[in-house]
Amino acid sequence: MTTFVRAGYHADIRTVEYTAENGDRLLRSGGTLAWRLNNPGNLRPSRLYEGVIGTADTPNGRFAIFASPEAGRTEKRKLLRRGYDHLSLRDAIYKYAPPNENDTEKYLAFVKRRTSLGENTLLSTMSDAQLGDIMAAMEQMEGYNANQETRRERWVYVTSVSLSDGARPLADYPVQVVRNGSPTHVRTDARGALPAMVTTTDGEEVILLEATDAASEIGRITLEQRSRSIVLSRLRDIFEGVSQPHTPTREAATPPSPAPVRYVVQPGDTLSMIARRFRTTNSQLLQANSPTVRHADKIRPGQVLMVHTGAAASNMGSSPQGAAPPPIAPTRYTVRRGDTLSSIAARHGTDTASILAANRQSVRNPHLIQPGQRLVLPPRGTSTAATAPRTTRPVRRHASPTVGTRSRENEGHPLAIVPLTQRRAPWMEHAYAEATRWAGRTEDVIGRTINYHHELGTKWLKSLSGSDNAWCASFVNWCLREAGYTISKDHFRARSFVSDANFAQIDAAIYGALGVVGTSHVGFVYAKAVNGNPIILGGNQSDQINFAAFKKTSMRYYVPLTYLEFARTEVHDPRLDVSTVATLNAELGIAVNSHAAGSTR
């Protein structure tokens, strides 16, 4: 049986579009609204209902769309038992179908005639079979099965193609799509996805080409009578780096200090290792990252460090040479719900280091800003990086990016400055930042600032609090989205990753893998305990964002499909840090909520 995970209502053509777990889409039109919505009881949206996969805005108001008619009937039965059990049949009908919307007396007479029940009979005294008879009569009265001759259903099969470098989606990548000999120029979206391809002819071959003069082939896709998600990896050996001129001028011989490198700590890193890699020192790293790093032996994966490389590190604190340019007036910005320093910087044409420099007194922790807080933003286009004459040349990929500016053996031959790219689970910095930001605060506090359901577009889940608002999956999907990855279709359900074609199962716990506990909880693999059990960084753990250990026998592991190629290189050597839950939580000031200890909902 097909399981639908999402639905939307096209009011202009009165059609419901259902999306199945495998990506197939069903278009349903005609019949009655209740039939189109799988909603025999014409129920309005409510957080109390399970099986709701969408809502429909109609001239008569909003109605819930259920995954199946059975799901709709189940929720109607629960509603009658929950809110109507103490009422007589007459009072129940008047409450369910009030006179301002219905001919309630006619409605009551019809139900009595179909069930042979008296209007003064209490619902609490009725058997499940009798309640079922009432529901069947109400369903007929509501017109669920009317206009059957006009019902129309049509399946649509969609092939989704994404481009990846093996670890990250390739966003805004130019592609030429050739179908039936006709080329169309498109670009991938922010998640690396091309526009969906609908199967019109079974077996049609689609050719994907580089949208360049060379027009080299990326791949060929065969469209079928089924929906699929496909990732094509574009692993390139050459990419752009920036080098100094071969014969530097006097001015270029002593270039201004570059902007600090933004480095995300990886499993196994130590401060001294990072210092050696970037030709700086522990003390300079501590100075540049105070107060977020207070001890050289306490850095953790996912933590972001600002690293001044080489000569830039030795010049920290020195005055710049030459006269300053005329000042440009900064702007002021009020932090909004869901903002991070990096998202604010991206929108306003600057960088996080510049914002931190302009707000030293008010922003002491780059991961902790609050809605309503006022920030000073540097002028658009400015950053802490000074500019210098540059030429560009292709540079071969190295295992470790080159970040210095000195030539080999000081021979005067320039080395390129290759942008630092970190491919290992980029979403983990967002998860760690949220854990740092909230420092053990519970979901009722977190939800006043950010609702991860709402951030991903599910407005009917009004809160993070309560047993009906489990948010572990929405937290995971939010972190993935912030890092530029596709989210699961049924994003608020932990089990969505198990069946979503945009995610792939792997055989071992690697850093950043999505650890699914049964089908009811999901978080990120962060480290491992001494006994080998994975330590999960996740939301909705004891009503918090915290670290918790789970038995490895209860876990399955998944990664985004665009990350799969890189993940496979780590499965045989996961290189997870060994730690304890108590240590990790204590370092972020997280006191596990004892009133909900172990709860994952």
Q: Which residue has the higher pLDDT, 248 or 378?
A: 378
Residues 447-493: tens digit of each pLDDT: 999 999 999 988 878 889 887 789 999 999 999 999 989 999 888 98
pLDDT at 403: 44
Residue 423 counted as domain residue: no
Residues 8-19, mean pLDDT to the nearest whole number: 93
> Are 100 and 224 contained in the same domain?
no
183 and 74 within one domain: no
Position 404 in a domain: no
Residues 6+ apart with CB under 8 A from 127: none
Asked whether 170 and 210 are in contact (CB, 8 A), the reply is: no
CB contact at 8 A, 562 and 168: yes
Mean pLDDT throughout 133-157? Answer: 92
Question: For position 420, what pLDDT does the model report?
Answer: 53
Is the residue at 195 inside a domain?
yes
Does 11 lie in the same domain as 145?
A: yes
Question: Which residue shows structure tokens 């670290």?
Answer: 547
| Token reading at 389 | 């004459």
Tokens 């030539």 -> residue? 407
Is 161 found in the same domain as 136? Answer: no
Burial 175-209 (b: 16+ CB within 10 A, else e): bbbbbeeeeeeeebbebbbbeebebeeeeeebebb
pLDDT of residue 312: 43
Residues 44 and 137 in one domain: yes
- How many whole angstroms separate alpha carbon 311 and alpha carbon 496? 49
pLDDT of res. 240: 37
Token look-up 């209740």 returns: 34
pLDDT for residue 499: 83
On whether residue 459 sits in a domain, the answer given is yes
Q: Which of 149-163, 255-269, 287-301, 552-566 has the lowest mean pLDDT?
A: 255-269
* pLDDT tens by residue, 483-532: 989 999 888 989 889 988 889 999 999 999 999 998 889 999 999 999 99
Q: What are the tokens at 59?
A: 């001239």
Question: Which residue among 93, 120, 152 closes a domain?
Answer: 152
Residue of 402 and 505 predicted with greater confidence: 505
| 559 CA to centre of own chain | 12
The answer to whether the bond into 291 is cis (omega within 30° of 0) is yes
Question: Is the predicted pLDDT of residue 318 greater than 70, yes or no?
Answer: no
User: What are the C-alpha distances in Å from 556 to residues 332, 478, 570, 576?
Assistant: 46, 20, 16, 17
Q: pLDDT tens, 21-39? A: 878 899 999 999 999 999 9
Confidence at residue 339, expressed as pLDDT on a 0 to 100 scale: 78
CB atoms within 10 A of CB 85: 14
pLDDT of residue 408: 42
What mean pLDDT is reported for the chain? 82
Query: Alpha-carbon distance 81 to 130, whole Å?
Result: 12
Judge whether 222 lies within some domain: yes
Q: Which of 271-275, 364-368, 439-443 has the lowest mean pLDDT?
A: 364-368
Asked whether the predicted pLDDT for residue 411 surpasses 80, the reply is no
Question: What one-character-per-residue DSSP string does 244-280 give?
Answer: --SS--HHHHSPPPPPPEEEE--TT--HHHHHHHTT-
64 domain residue, yes or no? yes
Q: Of 188, 211, 236, which marks where a domain is finished?
A: 236
Give the range among 226-230, 414-418, 450-454 with minimum mean pLDDT.
Answer: 414-418
Q: Which helix (H) or strand (E) holds 567?
A: helix 564-571
Neighbours of 337 (CB within 10 A): 13
Residue 184 has a pLDDT of 92
Task: State whether 140 and 178 are in the same domain.
Answer: no
The owner of tokens 């049949």 is 89
The token pair at 596 is 């909900």
Which of these three, 216, 236, 256, is where a domain ends? 236
We report the CATH number of the domain holding residue 213 as 2.60.40.1120
Question: In this structure, are residues 492 and 461 in contact, taking their beta carbons and an 8 Å threshold?
Answer: yes
CA 474 to chain CA centroid, nearest Å: 7
Under a CB-based contact definition with an 8 Å cutoff, are residues 335 and 370 in contact?
A: yes
**Residue 196 and residue 135 share a domain:** no
Tokens coding 197 = 């391809």
Contact 392, 347 (CB under 8 A): no
- pLDDT, one tens digit per residue, over 370-394 is 777 888 887 655 555 433 333 333 3
Neighbour-count burial of 550, counting CB atoms closer than 10 A to its CB (0-12 exposed, 13-18 middle, 19+ buried): buried
Decide if pLDDT at 446 tops 90. yes
Distance between CA atoms of residues 57 and 375, nearest Å: 39
Residues 492 and 473 sit within 8 Å (Cβ to Cβ): yes
pTM to 2 decimals? 0.62
Which candidate, 464, 533, 472, places its Cα nearest to that of 497?
472
Tokens representing residue 11 in the block = 């009011």
β-strand partners of 233: 164
Examine the pLDDT at 559 and tell me if it is beyond 50.
yes
Does residue 116 share a domain with residue 22? yes
pLDDT at residue 37, rounded to an integer: 96
3-state SS assignment for residue 527: strand
CA atoms within 13 A on the CB side of 214: 5
The structural domain count of the chain equals 3
Instruction: Evaluate whether residue 481 is within a structural domain.
Output: yes
**Rounded to whole angstroms, what are the CA distances from 239 to 110, 123, 192, 242, 417?**
74, 72, 18, 10, 12
Amino acid at position 433, single letter = A
Q: Which two tokens stand for residue 248?
A: 């530097």
The pLDDT of residue 362 = 77
Q: Does one domain contain both 59 and 193?
A: no
Q: Of 38-47, 309-318, 513-522, which gets the smallest average pLDDT?
A: 309-318
Instruction: Say how far apart CA 103 and CA 203 lie, in whole Å.
Output: 54
Type of residue numbered 127 = S
Give me the pLDDT at residue 414, please: 46
Kindly state whether residue 351 falls inside one of the protein's structural domains. Answer: no
Domain that includes residue 177, residue range = 157-236
Residues 506 and 548 in one domain: yes
| Conformation bin of residue 302: beta by default, left when phi > 0, alpha when psi is -120 to 50 | left
Same domain, 137 and 178: no
User: Is the pLDDT at 242 greater than 50, yes or no?
Assistant: no
| Residues 444 and 503 occupy one common structural domain | yes
> Is residue 325's pLDDT more than 50?
no
pLDDT, average across residues 76-91: 94
CATH number at residue 571: 3.90.1720
- Return the minimum-mean-pLDDT range out of 90-99, 108-117, 368-377, 482-491: 368-377
pLDDT tens-digit map of 181-221 = 899 999 998 889 999 899 989 999 999 998 876 678 899 99
User: Tens digit of pLDDT for each residue in 149-189?
Assistant: 999 999 999 999 999 888 888 888 899 999 998 999 999 98
**197-198 and 158-164 strand pairing:** antiparallel
Of 55-64, 309-318, 535-544, the poorest mean pLDDT is in 309-318
